[in-house]
């Protein structure tokens, strides 16, 4: 029991407890009455039974509780083990790895330009493409300014850019790419 | 309030109770307690249980004829009994704390 160290002038503990119970009782009664009034109004206004539907419809939307299936009855890890064919490199990739792979494969997305910039910046001497010499200085700036410049140039430089992405893999042993993908890039 | 108090004959105890009740209301604590109780009762499903009981009363008396008194009489006794002990405990704690603070 909690120690109450306040002087209770004319009421002792048991009376206090009784009083507290009384207050609680009043509050509960208020709650009950409130509910009754609400229900009564709803009945008389005609909206009390609104959320009841016929048995058949209730059955249709019942919560499903089976393994391997969500509460709507849909299979939710259906695509976990599927494999997709990449339209770019024609490899078969697992579904959950597909998006990041596409990002790198197509050379779009934040990470792929960062990786590409890093590779180019780490000094690729064997690359003879024209854009490379000009771009080397710009390459270390942040992604978006490099991208803006890219847009200003003509389409051709995009192709060259993609090429420079692929070639560095050959000569740079520190490429973040796994060796498996390197083999395929050489094809 | 259900008691009629004659101020002249009120004992010290009754006086004190009246004073505390007044403080409870004036300081907004009663309203807060009401809200707390309401929230707890909804949470624990008490409200839904009572609604189901109301449905029975309504079906018995008929939608057209059911009165507030019917509902109150049919539902309140069970309603009091159905309040979970944990909810009662929590409310009592707060009430006791208030009494301890304001009973001097």
At A5 the pLDDT is: 38
Cα radius of gyration (chain A):
35
The answer on pLDDT for B95 being more than 50 is yes
Q: What SS3 string covers chain A?
A: CCCCCCCCCCCCHHHHHHHHHHHHHHHHHHHHHHHHHHHHHHHHHCCCCCCCCCHHHHHHCCCCCCCCECCCCCECCCCCCCEEECCCCCCEEEHHHHHHHHHHHHCCCHHHHHHHHHHHHCCCCCCCCHHHHHHHHHHCCCHHHHHHHHHHCCHHHHHHHHHHHHCHHHHCCCCCCCHHHHHHHCC
- The answer to whether the CB atoms of B12 and A8 lie below 8 A apart is no
Residues of chain A with Cβ-Cβ distance to B88 below 8 Å are 24
Residue A83's beta-bridge partner residues? A94
Q: Give the pLDDT score at A118.
A: 87
Q: What is the interface pTM, i.e. ipTM, of the complex? A: 0.87
Sign of CA dihedral B20, B21, B25, B26: negative
**Residue range B34-72, pLDDT digits in tens:** 999 999 999 999 999 999 999 999 999 998 999 999 999
Instruction: For A41, name the nearest residue in chain B, comparing CA atoms only.
Output: B68
Closest partner CB to A28 (pick from B75, B83, B96):
B83
pTM: 0.52
Nearest to B100 among A6, A29, A35 (CB): A6
Query: Nearest CB to B96: which of A7, A20, A27?
Result: A20
| Whole-number average pLDDT of chain B | 89
The predicted-structure confidence for A115-149, as pLDDT tens digits, reads as follows 888 888 887 655 544 444 444 454 444 545 444 44
Q: Is residue B83 less than 8 Å (CB to CB) from chain A?
A: yes
Query: Which residues on A lie below 8 Å from B20 (Cβ)?
Result: 19
- Name residues whose C-beta falls within 8 Å of residue A174's C-beta, 6 or more positions apart in sequence: A122
Predicted confidence at residue A145, as pLDDT, reads 45
């Amino acid at each position: 029991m909690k120690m109450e160290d306040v002087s209770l002038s004319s009421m002792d503990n048991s009376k206090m407890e009784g009083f507290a119970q009384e207050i609680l009782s009043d509050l509960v009664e208020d709650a009950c009455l409130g509910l009754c009034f609400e229900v009564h109004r709803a009945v008389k206004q005609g909206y009390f039974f609104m959320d009841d539907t016929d048995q058949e419809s209730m059955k249709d939307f019942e919560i499903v509780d089976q393994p391997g299936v969500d509460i709507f009855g849909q299979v939710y890890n259906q695509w976990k083990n599927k494999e997709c064919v990449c339209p770019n490199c024609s490899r078969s990739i697992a579904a959950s790895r597909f998006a990041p792979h596409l990002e790198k494969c197509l050379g779009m997305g934040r990470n792929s330009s960062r990786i590409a910039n890093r590779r180019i910046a780490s000094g690729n001497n064997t690359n003879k493409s024209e854009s490379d010499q000009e771009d080397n200085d710009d390459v270390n700036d942040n992604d978006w300014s490099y991208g803006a410049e890219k847009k200003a140039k003509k389409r051709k430089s995009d192709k060259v850019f993609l090429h420079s992405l692929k070639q560095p893999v050959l000569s740079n042993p520190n490429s973040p790419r796994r060796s498996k993908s390197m083999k395929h890039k050489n094809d | 309030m259900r008691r009629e108090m004659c101020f002249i004959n009120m004992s010290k105890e009754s006086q004190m109770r009246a004073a505390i009740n007044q403080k409870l209301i004036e300081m907004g604590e009663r309203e807060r307690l009401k809200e707390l109780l309401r929230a707890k009762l909804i949470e624990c499903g008490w409200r839904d249980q009572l609604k189901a009981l109301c449905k029975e009363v309504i079906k018995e008396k008929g939608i057209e004829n059911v009165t507030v008194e019917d509902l109150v009489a049919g539902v309140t006794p069970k309603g009091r009994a159905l309040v979970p002990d944990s909810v009662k405990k929590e409310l009592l704690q707060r009430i006791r704390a208030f009494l301890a603070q304001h009973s001097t």
